[in-house]
Structure 1
Amino acid sequence: MFEWMAWTPPVAIFFTSIVLMLIGMTVWELKSPTTMRKGWLPMETTRGDRLFIGLLSAAYVNLAFVAVSEKLMTWLSLENEPSIWISFVISMALLALIMRKG
Protein backbone atom coordinates (compact mmCIF):
# COMPACT_ATOMS: atom_id res chain seq x y z
CA MET A 1 0.00 0.00 0.00
CA PHE A 2 2.79 2.45 0.89
CA GLU A 3 5.39 1.21 -1.59
CA TRP A 4 5.25 4.50 -3.49
CA MET A 5 6.59 6.44 -0.48
CA ALA A 6 10.20 6.60 0.59
CA TRP A 7 9.75 5.68 4.25
CA THR A 8 13.10 6.70 5.58
CA PRO A 9 13.58 7.40 9.30
CA PRO A 10 13.46 11.21 8.81
CA VAL A 11 10.16 10.93 6.88
CA ALA A 12 8.65 8.64 9.50
CA ILE A 13 9.79 10.94 12.32
CA PHE A 14 8.39 13.99 10.48
CA PHE A 15 4.94 12.43 10.09
CA THR A 16 5.01 11.04 13.62
CA SER A 17 5.80 14.54 14.88
CA ILE A 18 2.80 15.93 13.02
CA VAL A 19 0.47 13.28 14.48
CA LEU A 20 1.81 13.92 18.00
CA MET A 21 1.35 17.68 17.52
CA LEU A 22 -2.26 17.20 16.43
CA ILE A 23 -2.98 14.96 19.42
CA GLY A 24 -1.27 17.42 21.77
CA MET A 25 -3.16 20.38 20.31
CA THR A 26 -6.47 18.54 20.69
CA VAL A 27 -5.79 17.79 24.35
CA TRP A 28 -4.58 21.38 24.94
CA GLU A 29 -7.72 22.78 23.30
CA LEU A 30 -9.97 20.59 25.45
CA LYS A 31 -8.13 21.61 28.64
CA SER A 32 -7.74 25.31 27.80
CA PRO A 33 -9.86 26.77 24.97
CA THR A 34 -7.94 29.16 22.76
CA THR A 35 -8.47 32.87 22.22
CA MET A 36 -7.65 35.05 19.25
CA ARG A 37 -4.39 36.99 19.51
CA LYS A 38 -2.24 39.16 17.28
CA GLY A 39 1.41 38.28 16.91
CA TRP A 40 3.70 39.18 14.03
CA LEU A 41 1.46 37.40 11.53
CA PRO A 42 -0.70 39.97 9.69
CA MET A 43 -3.94 38.70 11.28
CA GLU A 44 -5.40 37.56 14.57
CA THR A 45 -4.95 33.82 14.99
CA THR A 46 -5.79 30.98 17.34
CA ARG A 47 -3.39 28.18 18.30
CA GLY A 48 -4.97 25.97 15.65
CA ASP A 49 -4.50 28.65 12.98
CA ARG A 50 -0.84 29.03 13.90
CA LEU A 51 -0.36 25.24 13.87
CA PHE A 52 -1.90 25.02 10.39
CA ILE A 53 0.24 27.90 9.07
CA GLY A 54 3.32 26.38 10.74
CA LEU A 55 2.67 22.92 9.28
CA LEU A 56 2.24 24.39 5.80
CA SER A 57 5.47 26.34 6.25
CA ALA A 58 7.27 23.20 7.45
CA ALA A 59 6.04 21.26 4.43
CA TYR A 60 7.23 24.01 2.06
CA VAL A 61 10.65 24.11 3.73
CA ASN A 62 11.01 20.34 3.33
CA LEU A 63 9.85 20.42 -0.30
CA ALA A 64 12.19 23.29 -1.10
CA PHE A 65 15.09 21.44 0.51
CA VAL A 66 14.37 18.30 -1.49
CA ALA A 67 14.16 20.43 -4.65
CA VAL A 68 17.53 22.13 -4.12
CA SER A 69 19.50 19.41 -2.34
CA GLU A 70 20.93 18.04 -5.58
CA LYS A 71 21.90 21.55 -6.67
CA LEU A 72 23.48 22.20 -3.26
CA MET A 73 25.59 19.13 -3.85
CA THR A 74 26.95 20.71 -7.02
CA TRP A 75 27.26 24.27 -5.70
CA LEU A 76 29.07 23.26 -2.50
CA SER A 77 31.09 20.45 -4.12
CA LEU A 78 29.71 17.83 -1.75
CA GLU A 79 30.20 14.12 -2.29
CA ASN A 80 26.68 13.22 -1.10
CA GLU A 81 23.38 15.08 -0.96
CA PRO A 82 22.86 17.05 2.27
CA SER A 83 20.99 15.17 4.97
CA ILE A 84 17.22 15.55 5.12
CA TRP A 85 17.68 16.05 8.88
CA ILE A 86 18.77 19.60 8.08
CA SER A 87 15.39 20.48 6.60
CA PHE A 88 13.60 18.66 9.42
CA VAL A 89 15.36 20.75 12.06
CA ILE A 90 14.79 23.99 10.10
CA SER A 91 11.12 23.22 9.52
CA MET A 92 10.48 22.32 13.17
CA ALA A 93 12.27 25.49 14.31
CA LEU A 94 10.09 27.53 11.94
CA LEU A 95 6.98 25.77 13.24
CA ALA A 96 7.98 26.51 16.84
CA LEU A 97 8.63 30.17 15.97
CA ILE A 98 5.23 30.54 14.32
CA MET A 99 3.48 28.83 17.24
CA ARG A 100 5.24 31.02 19.79
CA LYS A 101 5.42 34.43 18.14
CA GLY A 102 2.89 34.22 15.32
Structure 2
Amino acid sequence: MFEWMAWTLPVAVFFVCIALMLVGMTVWEIKSPTTVRRGFLPMETTRGDRLFIGLLSAAYVNLAFVGLSGKFAEWFSLDGDPSIWISFVLSMVLLVLVMRKG
Protein backbone atom coordinates (compact mmCIF):
# COMPACT_ATOMS: atom_id res chain seq x y z
CA MET A 1 0.00 0.00 0.00
CA PHE A 2 2.78 2.46 0.87
CA GLU A 3 5.41 1.15 -1.56
CA TRP A 4 5.24 4.38 -3.58
CA MET A 5 6.81 6.38 -0.75
CA ALA A 6 10.37 6.20 0.52
CA TRP A 7 9.64 5.34 4.16
CA THR A 8 12.99 5.98 5.72
CA LEU A 9 13.57 6.67 9.40
CA PRO A 10 13.74 10.47 8.94
CA VAL A 11 10.46 10.45 6.99
CA ALA A 12 8.76 8.37 9.67
CA VAL A 13 10.09 10.63 12.45
CA PHE A 14 8.87 13.69 10.53
CA PHE A 15 5.32 12.32 10.22
CA VAL A 16 5.26 11.11 13.84
CA CYS A 17 6.29 14.61 14.94
CA ILE A 18 3.48 16.14 12.89
CA ALA A 19 0.93 13.75 14.41
CA LEU A 20 2.18 14.48 17.93
CA MET A 21 2.02 18.24 17.26
CA LEU A 22 -1.58 17.97 16.07
CA VAL A 23 -2.59 15.99 19.16
CA GLY A 24 -0.71 18.39 21.42
CA MET A 25 -2.23 21.46 19.80
CA THR A 26 -5.72 19.97 20.13
CA VAL A 27 -5.24 19.32 23.85
CA TRP A 28 -3.70 22.78 24.32
CA GLU A 29 -6.62 24.43 22.52
CA ILE A 30 -9.14 22.58 24.71
CA LYS A 31 -7.29 23.52 27.91
CA SER A 32 -6.46 27.11 26.92
CA PRO A 33 -8.34 28.68 23.99
CA THR A 34 -6.14 30.70 21.69
CA THR A 35 -6.09 34.44 21.20
CA VAL A 36 -5.27 36.28 18.01
CA ARG A 37 -1.89 38.01 18.01
CA ARG A 38 0.51 39.64 15.60
CA GLY A 39 4.15 38.65 15.21
CA PHE A 40 6.56 38.94 12.28
CA LEU A 41 4.02 37.37 9.92
CA PRO A 42 2.13 40.05 7.97
CA MET A 43 -1.24 39.14 9.54
CA GLU A 44 -2.89 38.36 12.83
CA THR A 45 -2.69 34.65 13.60
CA THR A 46 -3.82 32.06 16.11
CA ARG A 47 -1.74 29.09 17.30
CA GLY A 48 -3.43 26.90 14.71
CA ASP A 49 -2.65 29.36 11.92
CA ARG A 50 0.99 29.48 12.95
CA LEU A 51 1.16 25.68 13.14
CA PHE A 52 -0.26 25.38 9.63
CA ILE A 53 2.14 28.00 8.23
CA GLY A 54 5.04 26.39 10.09
CA LEU A 55 4.21 22.90 8.80
CA LEU A 56 3.96 24.17 5.23
CA SER A 57 7.30 25.94 5.63
CA ALA A 58 8.85 22.78 7.09
CA ALA A 59 7.59 20.72 4.17
CA TYR A 60 9.05 23.20 1.67
CA VAL A 61 12.42 23.17 3.46
CA ASN A 62 12.49 19.37 3.27
CA LEU A 63 11.47 19.32 -0.39
CA ALA A 64 14.06 21.96 -1.28
CA PHE A 65 16.76 20.05 0.58
CA VAL A 66 15.91 16.79 -1.16
CA GLY A 67 15.89 18.57 -4.51
CA LEU A 68 19.21 20.32 -3.88
CA SER A 69 21.07 17.54 -2.03
CA GLY A 70 22.78 16.38 -5.24
CA LYS A 71 23.96 19.93 -5.89
CA PHE A 72 25.18 20.25 -2.28
CA ALA A 73 27.25 17.09 -2.74
CA GLU A 74 28.71 18.54 -5.93
CA TRP A 75 29.34 22.04 -4.54
CA PHE A 76 30.94 20.86 -1.29
CA SER A 77 32.77 17.86 -2.83
CA LEU A 78 30.99 15.35 -0.62
CA ASP A 79 31.25 11.60 -1.19
CA GLY A 80 27.45 11.25 -1.17
CA ASP A 81 24.29 13.22 -0.64
CA PRO A 82 24.10 15.02 2.72
CA SER A 83 22.00 13.47 5.47
CA ILE A 84 18.28 14.17 5.39
CA TRP A 85 18.51 14.75 9.16
CA ILE A 86 19.96 18.17 8.33
CA SER A 87 16.74 19.25 6.63
CA PHE A 88 14.69 17.73 9.44
CA VAL A 89 16.52 19.83 12.03
CA LEU A 90 16.31 22.97 9.86
CA SER A 91 12.59 22.50 9.28
CA MET A 92 11.90 21.96 12.99
CA VAL A 93 13.89 25.09 13.87
CA LEU A 94 11.83 27.04 11.32
CA LEU A 95 8.60 25.58 12.75
CA VAL A 96 9.56 26.58 16.29
CA LEU A 97 10.46 30.09 15.09
CA VAL A 98 7.10 30.53 13.36
CA MET A 99 5.22 29.17 16.37
CA ARG A 100 7.02 31.38 18.90
CA LYS A 101 7.58 34.63 17.00
CA GLY A 102 5.15 34.44 14.05
Q: TM (normalized to structure 1)?
A: 0.99
Unaligned runs of 5+ in 1: none
Give the Cα separation in 1 of the matches to 2:52 and 2:68.
24
- 1:12 maps to 2:30: no
Number of the residue aligned with 2:75? 75
Number of the residue aligned with 1:39? 39
Give the Cα separation in 2 of the matches to 1:89 and 1:75.
21
Alpha-carbon deviations, 1:52-100, whole Å to 9, x = none?
A: 0000000000000000000111111100100000000000000000000
AA in 1 matched with 2:80: N
AA in 1 matched with 2:32: S
Give the Cα separation in 1 of the matches to 2:67 and 2:5.
16
State the shift of 1:16 in Å: 0.3
CA RMSD of aligned residues (A): 0.4
AA in 2 matched with 1:70: G
AA in 1 matched with 2:35: T
The number of aligned residues is 102
Give the Cα separation in 2 of the matches to 1:3 and 1:35.
42
Number of the residue aligned with 2:27? 27
Give the Cα separation in 2 of the matches to 1:4 and 1:69.
21
State the shift of 1:32 in Å: 0.3
Number of the residue aligned with 1:101? 101
AA in 2 matched with 1:20: L
Give the Cα separation in 2 of the matches to 1:37 and 1:72.
38
In percent, how many aligned pairs have the same letter? 76
